[in-house]
Chains A and B, each alone.
Chain A
Amino acid sequence: MTNPSHAEHQMQMKRQSSGRLMIFGFLSPSLVILLFMVLYPFLSLVYYSFYNFSALRQGAMKPVGLGNYRFLLSDHQLWERFIFTGKFVFICVALQMLIGIFVGYQLQKNFRGRDVVFTLLMMPMMLSPIVVGFLWRYMLNSEWGIVNFLLSSVGLPKIDWLGQANAALWAAAAADTWMWTPFIILLATAAFRGIPETIHEAAEVDGASPAYKFFRITLPISAPVLFIALILRLIDSFKQYDLFIALTGGGPGSSTETVSFAVAKTAFSYFYTGEASALAVILLVIIIGLSMILVRHLTHISQRF
């Protein structure tokens, strides 16, 4: 506009200031509460990571600079743990996304009893994680568990699920996937149902196959939401260790210890607060790095649409 009228100019100013007010007002509750809850603990975390500190034996505290980091990073067990965690996270997120998107896609059509089916499918996610750990430990018991019973009744050999590292990895992945696929299903269904029928119909009229419809229409439009689901699941699976405590206790040896497991152990069993903080910082750096890459990708995708 070359010559905005006075009234229009005034409206624009009002919009801008109301906009700014809205930004400030809408952001402050979240910002205030997050800063309040995060500031002290996080600063303490970084602070104590430079100390040889145990909250239980505070008298013996002394600064060690990068000592904790050096000790942790030179421990080959740490790298083994990262590799194990990486494998676990990759398997879980991949399976959950694949199954979640597939099931979510099927659920978008209306059919009788869909509400009930949907609520039932959400149940694994609703269970308390402590109970889930115990439940799978009970089901995977090599002597009295139902899984091995079913295997042996179809002639397959019984597997020692919880006593060998490889089997335990898949057992934990099965339990984690069981529990969290509904998360993806929920978000995927919401995303898919939002695509108006008209677009689908138009594509069908043009002779598009179901595969084409899915990969070229449904997926790209719902990509932003699916990506958010991916990032959230990724972050959450890095934190998983309750499951491993219940299933294997981290064994045999330390082969099923994830990095979070090590943090929990160092922080609470050992009460080596400084060392645990350093380990947590290392873990955080890695997760932040990964998320940054993903988030940047997400902004690219959403900007395209």
Chain B
Amino acid sequence: MNSSRTSAFDHAGRWLIFALLAIYTLYNIGPVFWLLLSSFKSRLDLFAMPPKLFFTPDLSGYESVFGVGAAANNASSVGVLDSLINSIIVSVSGTSLAVIFGTLAGYVCSRFNFVGKSDFMFFVLSTRMLPPVAVLVFYHMMFARLGLADTRFGLILVSIFANVGLATWIMKGFFDGVPREVEQIALVNGYSRMYAFTRLVLPMVKGGIAATAGFCFIFAWNEFAFSSILTTTQAKTLPVKISAASGATGLEWTQICAAGVVLIIPVLVFFYLIRKHLLMGMTFGVLGRR
């Protein structure tokens, strides 16, 4: 079976794949590492040539972000804790609701054929198509009139709206991978649709739910355009609060990098918690071909 030619080719192929993966990993993680390093550099070190790998750490960036130490009197750092709480509330609520709504909608679009289904799917997709700036003024007007401006509830609504399209489409994709036989067998045996859905099908798409929740959380957490225009003081979220970064020295690079590191931590934690489900994958053909 194995001629020596195939195995040599095999080896070369495997090394090539390994090399490509290594290059990609470097490309992927390198800048993140550079960000982390830069967040501890003073401005002098940041622009030193050649770039420094070893230096005395400067915590001024993190102090500015948290409003402690030398930055205790910074006007922009006041209320960082409040904005963190706002971010958590808005992101968690927005994500959960978007995932729930999207899962439900994705399920029926996967299982049933009804009048207007493709229109519904396309409509849901189209809510993602416009850059928010195009409609920000109108949202501002609408929110102000409804008393939703500068409220967490308003931001949660925005969060759901921004993510439910993504959730629906991804979940539909995952549901399509679950064979219809699963429900059919349940129905034939006298169980209700709801039972089939909640007890049988849903557990099979845990991977999809995890992936969707991960994406939605990222988008909700990092949302900037709507949050910066629609909030002023009460409902400010963390990205808007700590990305303010210009000062007497020019752009406060240390602070920007520190803000970046601080902002990524909750997302990392979230992804770490759901990592097992993320890699669960889909369930094509568990019961044979669909």
Would you call B25 and A41 a contact (CB within 8 A)? no
Residues A186 and B224 in contact in the complex (CB < 8 Å), given A135-B31, A196-B284: no
Task: Kindly state the separation between the CA atoms of A144 and B128 in the bound complex, as whole angstroms.
Answer: 37
Query: Is A276 an interface residue, CB under 8 A from the partner?
Result: yes
- Contact residues of A: prevailing secondary structure: helix
Which residues of chain A from 259 to 282 have a CB within 8 Å of any chain B CB?
260, 263-264, 267-268, 273, 276-277, 279-280
Selected contact of A118 from candidates B168, B193, B253, B278, CB within 8 Å: B278
Q: A1: which B residues are within 8 A, CB to CB?
A: none
Q: B271: which A residues are within 8 A, CB to CB?
A: 119, 122, 126
Q: A29: which B residues are within 8 A, CB to CB?
A: 100-101, 104-105
Query: Is B131 an interface residue, CB under 8 A from the partner?
Result: yes
Q: B127: which A residues are within 8 A, CB to CB?
A: 34, 37-38
- Contact residues of B: prevailing secondary structure: helix
Would you call A103 and B21 a contact (CB within 8 A)? yes
Query: Is B8 an interface residue, CB under 8 A from the partner?
Result: no
Would you call B282 and A19 a contact (CB within 8 A)? no
In the assembled complex, the CB of A296 is this many whole angstroms from the nearest CB of chain B, namely: 9
Would you call A263 and B134 a contact (CB within 8 A)? yes
Residues A231 and B125 in contact in the complex (CB < 8 Å), given A30-B102, A129-B222, A225-B173: yes
Give B31-44 as 1s and 0s: 1 = Cβ < 8 Å from A's Cβ atoms: 11011001000000
Q: B166: which A residues are within 8 A, CB to CB?
A: 232
Give A181-203 as 1s and 0s: 1 = Cβ < 8 Å from B's Cβ atoms: 11100110111111110010000
Q: B251: which A residues are within 8 A, CB to CB?
A: 134
Which residues of chain A from 34 to 51 have a CB within 8 Å of any chain B CB?
34, 36-38, 40-42, 44-45
Q: B157: which A residues are within 8 A, CB to CB?
A: 33, 36-37
Task: Kindly state the separation between the CA atoms of A305 and B193 in the bound complex, as whole angstroms.
Answer: 24
Task: Kindly state the separation between the CA atoms of A277 and B157 in the bound complex, as whole angstroms.
Answer: 23
Query: Is B79 an interface residue, CB under 8 A from the partner?
Result: no
Q: B142: which A residues are within 8 A, CB to CB?
A: 40-41
Apart from A18-B193, A44-B138, list 5 A-B contacts with CB within 8 A: A34-B123, A127-B263, A186-B211, A194-B207, A264-B133
Identify the B interface with A (CB < 8 A): 13, 17, 20-21, 24-25, 27-29, 31-32, 34-35, 38, 46-51, 100-102, 104-105, 107-108, 112, 114, 118, 120-131, 133-139, 141-142, 157-158, 160-161, 164-166, 168-170, 172-174, 176-177, 187, 192-194, 197, 207-208, 211, 214-215, 218, 222, 224, 239, 243, 245, 251, 253, 256-257, 259-260, 263-264, 267-268, 271-272, 275-276, 278-286, 290
For this complex, 8 residue pairs linking A to B, each with C-beta atoms less than 8 Å apart, are: A18-B194, A34-B123, A127-B260, A186-B211, A186-B214, A231-B169, A236-B128, A279-B134
